A and B are shown apart, each in its own frame.
Chain A
Amino acid sequence: MNAARALKVALPLGVLVVLAIVPLSATPYTNYQLSLVGTFAVAILGLNIVSGYAGQISLGQSAFMGVGAYAAAFGVAHGWPVVLSFVVAALLPAAIGALVAIPAVRLRGNALAVVTIILPIIAVPLAKRYAGVTGGSEGRSVDWAHVPSGTGLEDDQWRYYLVLVIAAVLFLLGRNILSGRIGRAFAIVRTNEAVASAMGISAHRYKVVAFTIAACYGGAAGFLYVLVVQFASPDLLNFQVAINMLAALVIGGFANLWGAVIAGLFYVYVPVVAGAVDPSRTNIFYGAVVLVVLFIVPGGVSGGIVRLVRALLARLPDRYRRFTGVDPQAGPASPVPPQPDASGPEPTPPSLRAGAGSRKEPQ
């Protein structure tokens, strides 16, 4: 195991440890906001899977999140077991996503994005109409997920930990899906559909898979939302939520797991910082920053960091480079993370190539 590999394991673990310590001393409001970051990170990870990894822009993620939230709130209000609420909150949106995607993926690329708008546009009036299930325009409040007595924690800390654990599991699951066969199929579908079908990979099928997974993550995030906010309302379904999530994802970084986390931070904190002055600032900030990102750092914040780290590592002397596993010949990293099991032979270990035109070891 080389240093880069070790870093890949150590970094998430380190982040998790820090995240586990933070809520013990933070204010309840900070814990609430951080729980929301985790919630939206999960929803945006779903969006990242369909839009970032599989290359299909979706403007409907808020609808899946909203359906998940309503399912969770409905389950809680009717005294369902928590696990059942979670399963329904995740699977109902997934089923809707699959049902819409199966016919929709036949459309030409651009038209697909248009079709995805339909979901939030129709979901909002439907949610208001069926007040018996959804609570109508006011939404449905619930009172649950209180900390078990004897733990010494407060409600906000308890909910934070629940979100942290569920989000961590979902991210791990996502990482495994994306680094395997399905992830490689997404990459080729995104790059060139014709090549994908020539390789025997059905673009249609994998787009449906991507939409379904995205909807499932959206639904799970809806469950987390109800856990944190104790409330589900038509505002969550709104089209505006979906496009702001997409904007946050572009800033965080397409096709990168950390991109979804950074996007979650942006999604929750930008309105807090910008909106304190003037609500229209949030939109100006999002619009301008997304354009800047597209112009200057196509990989977003996470892609930019990856590039920066590689550039720094590449400047290390040879004997260190051997341990970091960074190939100085590779140049700046592409915004897309390398596919681990991409076809073709293993790249030559850098140590075997050391000295081939690279910088001399300083004495």
Chain B
Amino acid sequence: MQHAIQQIVDGLAAGSIYGALALALVLVYRATGMINFAQGLLAVASTYIAWSVWRAGSPLIAAVVLAVAAALVLGAFTERVVIRRFEGGPPHTAVVATIALLILINGLTGSIWGYVSQPFPSLFPSGTVTVGGVVLAIPSLATTGVLIVVVVLLQLLFLRTRLGLALRAVADNADSSALSGLNVGRLLMVGWALAAALGALAGVLIAPKVYLDPTMMDTILVYALAAAVLGGLDSPLGAVVAAWIIGVTENLAGTYIPYVRDDLKIGVPLVAMFVILLTRPQGLFGRRKAARV
């Protein structure tokens, strides 16, 4: 039982990292109606920035803050220079554009920082705490805590600030927002910037575990995509809950189902996503949409 609780906490920690990236995907989807397949590579680039700053001798926390700031700029830049062209166009063109970005950023990070895996320091002390007889890893608890703080901050931003109201208005109806005097283009840029910042956070959280290289986020992106789709694509809460479910199920399945083991555990959430979507095509928390001719 103790072992199971440890697995669940570790699963929540993994799920929190998927959740941060899934939140980024949801922000982009709500703002611009597209799935950003390059979200993971944007996170990788930001993490490399943190790594470079840290290697230059700066304290880790400062490097991370700088990387998140750089990610804000990177996200805004990507939206303005590339994505703006494809907003409101056919969705499959937008998907292809983000895939092109994925390939391009992979090549760029590879040529700047190389393809050799680099160790990345953890933000949290390694070690354990004992709660009620169960030994829990501090990084796992802290990672989950970080995601909870992020969700609360995002909720405050969206529900309590003028910027949040404007962002919600644009996500809801861009045309009416423009007619009410909101600068839609700039707000979409803000959406992409916030998403990239969340991605950067996911990047620095996962890098100590998997080592830093340009393909670091590929599997994380798949989990995050599964969480975002499962959560309904337009629901931040849904994405986080789905990410936690995914993190916990894959960890438990990998540990307790002999057939699954470590190599196939990525299949568990994906198959689960597939099965759930069959009964609820709009996702767990998504809203049904009626198509109009």
Give A residues with C-beta under 8 Å from B. 51, 55-57, 59, 103-104, 106-111, 113-115, 117-118, 121-122, 125-126, 128-129, 192-195, 198, 239, 243-244, 246-247, 250, 278-288, 290-291, 294-295, 298
Contacts of B277 in A (CB 8 A): 103, 106-107, 111, 115
Q: Which of A125, A198, A294 contacts B93 (CB 8 A)?
A: A294
Query: Is B218 an interface residue when CB atoms closer than 8 A count as contact?
Result: yes
Q: Are A121 and B264 in contact (CB under 8 A)?
A: no
Interface size on B, residues (CB 8 A): 50
Query: In the complex, A278 Cα to B34 Cα: how many Å?
Result: 32
In the complex, what's the smallest C-beta–C-beta distance from A138 to chain B, in angstroms? Answer: 16
Contacts of A198 in B (CB 8 A): 293
Query: In the complex, A117 Cα to B233 Cα: how many Å?
Result: 16
Q: Are B100 and A194 in contact (CB under 8 A)?
A: no
Q: Are B86 and A294 in contact (CB under 8 A)?
A: yes
Contacts of B101 in A (CB 8 A): 287, 291
18 A-B pairs with C-beta separation under 8 A:
A56-B92, A57-B92, A103-B277, A110-B34, A110-B233, A111-B277, A118-B267, A118-B274, A121-B266, A122-B270, A247-B99, A247-B100, A250-B100, A280-B107, A286-B104, A287-B105, A290-B103, A291-B82
Contacts of A104 in B (CB 8 A): 274
In the complex, what's the smallest C-beta–C-beta distance from B90 to chain A, in angstroms? Answer: 8
Q: Are A288 and B104 in contact (CB under 8 A)?
A: yes
Q: Which of A129, A239, A282, A294 contacts B100 (CB 8 A)?
A: A294
Q: How many A-B residue pairs have CB under 8 A?
A: 144
Q: Which of B34, B100, B289 contacts A287 (CB 8 A)?
A: B100
Contacts of A280 in B (CB 8 A): 106-108, 110-111, 115
Measured CB to CB, the nearest residue on chain B to A54 is B92
In the complex, what's the smallest C-beta–C-beta distance from B276 to chain A, in angstroms? Answer: 11
Known: A115-B277, A290-B96, A291-B100. 11 other contacts (CB 8 A): A57-B96, A114-B35, A122-B264, A194-B291, A279-B110, A280-B110, A280-B111, A282-B107, A286-B100, A286-B107, A287-B103
Q: Are A117 and B111 in contact (CB under 8 A)?
A: no
C-beta contact mask, B270-284 vs A, less than 8 Å → 1, else 0? 110110011001110
In the complex, what's the smallest C-beta–C-beta distance from A239 to chain B, in angstroms? Answer: 7
Q: Which of B95, B263, B267 contacts A110 (CB 8 A)?
A: B95
The 8 nearest A-B residue pairs measured at CB: A287-B104, A283-B107, A284-B107, A280-B110, A290-B100, A287-B103, A280-B111, A125-B263
Given contacts A194-B293, A283-B106, A287-B103, are A278 and B111 in contact (CB under 8 A)?
Answer: yes
Q: Are B110 and A121 in contact (CB under 8 A)?
A: no
C-beta contact mask, B12-48 vs A, less than 8 Å → 1, else 0? 0000000000000000010000110000000000000
Contacts of A122 in B (CB 8 A): 264, 266-267, 270-271
Q: Which of A106, A126, A239 contacts B281 (CB 8 A)?
A: A106
Of the candidates A198, A286, A287, A291, the one having the most CB atoms from chain B within 10 angstroms of its own CB is: A287
